[in-house]
């Protein structure tokens, strides 16, 4: 894109008080009409919308991942709980009393105590 000098002014006041200011203004040679402006604005809005949608979709995908992990945790907790119940049943007094080990136990004939 190139620019050309289109206008020059030399104002006495500027010369005196704004010596370092640009005194030349450049104007683009490409002219955008109202339709082009409208299209560009629409495109910008579309891009922004797509960015928003992308982010929102990504956040939602995390929700599904979280939900999946939560389900796995719940499933594992249920399994752990079932195992704890099974463990409690296997170590319950009635089970122990009926075990083969218990059935072979005998009452001691005599008991000696260690002096404390």
Partner 1 sequence: MNLELQKGSRSKILAAILFGFMTVFSVRLFYLQIIQHDYYVDAAKREQVKRLTIPAKRGTIYALDGQTPVPLVMNQTVYTVFADPQVASDNNKIIDTIRRVAGGNARPDLESLLSLKDSRYQILATKISRTQADKIKAAKLSGIGFQEESQRVYPEGSLAAQTLGFIDYSGIGRYGVEGKLNKRLTGVDGLLQSVTDVSDVPLTIGNNNIDQPAVDGDNIVLSIDRNVQSHTEQALADGLKRTGATRGSAIVMDPQTGKIMAMTNLPTYDPSKLNEVKDVSLFNNAVVSAPYEPGSDVKTLTIATGIDKGVVTPTSTYVNTDHIQVDDRTISNAIFGRTGEITFQYALNWSLNTGFVTIAQRLGDGKSITREARDTMYDYFYNRFKLGQLTGVEVAGEAAGTIIPPTVAEGNAVRYSNMAFGQGMDVPMIQVASAFNSIVNGGKYYKPTVLAGVVDKNGKYIPNKIENPSISISKSTADQVREMTRVARTLFFARGDKPGYYIGGKTGTSQVVRDGVYANDETIGTYLGYGGSEDTTRYVIMIQVSGDHKELEGGLDAMPIFTDISNWMIDYLDLQPKG
For position 82 contacting partner 1 by CB under 8 A, the verdict is: yes
Q: Does 106 bind partner 1 (CB under 8 A)?
A: no
Q: Three-state SS for 98?
A: coil
When asked if residue 101 is in the footprint of partner 1 (CB under 8 A), the reply is no
Helix, coil or strand: residue 106:
coil
> What residues between 26 and 55 interact with partner 1 by CB under 8 A?
none
| Contact (Cβ atoms closer than 8 angstroms) between residue 6 and residue 26 | yes
> Is 8 within 8 Å of 23 (Cβ atoms)?
yes
Question: Under the rule (CB under 8 A), what is the footprint of partner 1?
Answer: 56, 59-60, 62-64, 67, 78-79, 81-82, 84-85, 88-89, 91-94, 113, 116
């Amino acid at each position: 894109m190139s620019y050309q000098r289109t206008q020059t002014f030399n104002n006495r006041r500027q010369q005196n008080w704004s010596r370092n200011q640009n005194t030349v203004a450049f104007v683009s040679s490409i002219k955008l009409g109202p339709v082009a402006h409208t299209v560009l604005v629409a495109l910008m809005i579309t891009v922004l919308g797509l960015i928003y949608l992308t982010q929102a979709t990504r956040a939602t995908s995390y929700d599904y991942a979280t939900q999946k992990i939560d389900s796995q945790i719940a499933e594992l907790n249920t399994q752990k709980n079932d195992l704890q119940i099974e463990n409690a049943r296997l170590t319950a007094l009635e089970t122990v009393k009926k075990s083969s080990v218990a059935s072979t136990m005998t009452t001691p004939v005599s008991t000696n105590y260690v002096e404390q």
